[in-house]
Amino acid sequence: MRLQHRRSSILEEHHGIDLAPMLDFCLNLLIFFIMTAVFIKEYGLMVNRPSGAQTAKTGASDIAVYVLASGQILIEDRVVDPRAVRANIERLHAAKPTSGVLIIADKNALSDWVVGVVDQVHEGGIQNITFGTSG
């Protein structure tokens, strides 16, 4: 009798689901996600958009460079070779030292052409570049 009583008490003690391992697992996941969230950095580009008054004021003094869909580059309404952009920008910037460059690219122009123009403008010594689109 005593033996049966002992077995029944052991069986009664272990009924139900043990939640401790599941809680440990959830706690470990929580700690892992908190720790990794600290190291995630989002990189972005800060864009300062001008107001309408600033555009009207500074638009006239900018050097306009057009990048057409055909790959042609226009500076002051004349076609310029992509290798000659830097020389033309330096010449125009010497005439108007406070001016920036407005690069207006056609929506079908390849980004390689636009990046090439930006590189030439940077090599010409101008850091104030504004972008626009046409077409």
Q: How far is CA 132 from the centre of its chain?
A: 17
Give 74's contacts (C-beta < 8 A, 6+ positions apart): 65, 66, 68, 80
Share of the chain above pLDDT 70, in %: 75
- The mean of the pLDDT values for the chain is 80
- Residue 61: per-residue pLDDT: 74
Q: How confident is the model at residue 27 (pLDDT cuts 50, 70, 90)?
A: very high
Q: How confident is the model at residue 37 (pLDDT cuts 50, 70, 90)?
A: confident
The separation between CA 58 and the C-alpha centre of its own chain, rounded to angstroms, equals 26
Q: What percent of the chain has pLDDT over 90?
A: 30
d(CA 129, CA 123): 12
How much is the average pLDDT of 1-24? 68
- Measured on CA atoms in the order 108, 110, 111, 116, is the torsion positive or negative? negative
